[in-house]
Amino acid sequence: ALVVVTGANGFIGQHCVASLLSHGYSVIGTVRSDSKVKQVLATHEKHPNLSVVVVENICSPESYTSALKSTSPAAIFHLAAPFHYDATDFENEMMIPAVRGSTAVLDAAKQLGTVKRVVYASSFASIYDASKGPQPEKTYTAEDWSPLSYEDGVKASAAPVAYRASKVAGERAAWQWMEENPGVGFGLVSLNPAMVFGPLLPGAMPASLCELNTSNKIIWGVVSAGEDNEVPLTKGPVWVSVKDVALAHTQALQVPEASGQRFLLAAGVYCNQEIADLAREVATKHKSRIPVGRPGAREADMHFAVDATETEKVLNIEWQSLRSVLGEVLPQLYEIERKT
Ligand code: NDP
């Protein structure tokens, strides 16, 4: 079967493409420029089952239908959406691409007529309520919804708030579209990953650490802080491995009862001290870069917990450990730094 992956050059997108190809699917990746077409083809060593097209405007259904004409995809993974904290015009840079991006891909799926499932990359940001603070008594599941509104995003006090609001509004728009289009012939699955950590594919290494994806920048912030310095404060205390996120996308296609559901993708809680402790063990060569801090100190009791057992059961995922993920990504980060 043929699957379309939007944002195929992105951090998670590249792993979704790899997961689909390794499970025997054919893939059409969408990107927004010709140079990224070449880059994605190279990342997957010109895999015979991969093609890549340019979709200039993710807010336009026609942009998709003209790029995909004469193809018959059975599914779409929608990952293309802004994830950065650099925006200043929150409505135009964050909210509109998230919301109109959602409805455009669903409109396009309807017009194509062959799509049976759309897997939507939402976020833990659409689940948890940051305004409530640490909430040590709370356990979040996929049943929870962040209260942030579209307006909260437009008028946000800071870019991370606008990002979180964009994820809520984007996912709400997708579910609302499904309600307004009964009998459309495909089901929607929302996947809501926590902070995603993990390696980049060999062909997709950024030229410099400034271009590193937003979530892996958290790891770099810790492991480059310097042995005698403080461990940076933990911001989003829940994480998941990028390979598990990609596998969850593929499973969401294959498991019939996933349709119409929302899944929290979370290996568990973490803190930056834990990253530092593990990093000092797995990247011994670079110990002088990694803060000692207070070895063994953990923050799990100080804030909310997460429960993703439903995801483990329905999507059949066993979460990769933080130690193993750090073992894969740390050598890459130090290597990118060495080369620049
Ligand atoms: P990346 O920044 O690596 O990838 C984002 C992708 O979306 C890129 O292909 C990017 O294209 C594309 N994109 C962004 N803005 C636009 C736009 N305005 N128009 C067209 N394309 C656009 O991020 P991730 O891979 O980490 O994120 C992928 C998805 O997963 C996002 O929806 C994100 O919100 C979600 N997510 C990520 C988490 C994480 O921790 N990484 C956690 C939870 C959810 P280009 O390269 O051209 O900019």
The whole-chain average pLDDT of the chain stands at: 97
What pTM does this model have? 0.98
Distance 6 CA to ligand 1 centre (A): 9
CA 199/CA 202 separation, integer angstroms: 9
Residue 98 three-state SS: helix
Helix (H) or strand (E) holding 55: none
C-beta 273 within 6 A of ligand 1: no
What is the tens place of the pLDDT at every residue in 224-236? Answer: 999 999 999 999 9
pLDDT in tens, 69-122: 999 999 999 999 999 999 999 999 999 999 999 999 999 999 999 999 999 999
pLDDT value, residue 122: 98
Write down the domain spans for the chain.
2-197+239-269+308-319
How many Å is the Cα radius of gyration of the chain? Answer: 19
In the structure encoding, which two tokens stand for residue 212, read together?
């590193």
In the reported structure, the alpha carbon of residue 10 is separated from the centroid of ligand 1 by a whole-number distance in angstroms of: 6
ipTM of this complex > 0.90? yes
Instruction: Compute the average pLDDT of residues 145-156.
Output: 98
- Using pLDDT thresholds of 50, 70 and 90, give the confidence band for residue 283: very high
CATH superfamily of 2-197+239-269+308-319: NAD(P)-binding Rossmann-like Domain (3.40.50.720)
Ligand 1 atom closest to the Cα of residue 14 is: 25
Q: What percent of the chain has pLDDT over 90?
A: 99
Q: Is the Cβ atom of 123 under 6 angstroms away from ligand 1?
A: yes
Q: Atom 29 in ligand 1: which residue has the minimum CA distance?
A: 79
d(C-alpha 250, C-alpha 262), whole Å? 15
3-state secondary structure of 3: strand
Helix %, strand %, coil % for the chain, to 5? 50, 15, 40
* Residue 79 CB–ligand 1 contact under 6 Å: yes
Q: Which of 34, 54, 83, 264 to mutate to test the pocket of ligand 1 (most atoms within 8 A of CB)?
A: 83
Q: Please report the pLDDT score of residue 209 as a whole number.
A: 97
Q: CA-CA distance, 213 to 204, in Å (whole number)? A: 11
Ligand 1 atom nearest residue 197's Cα = 40
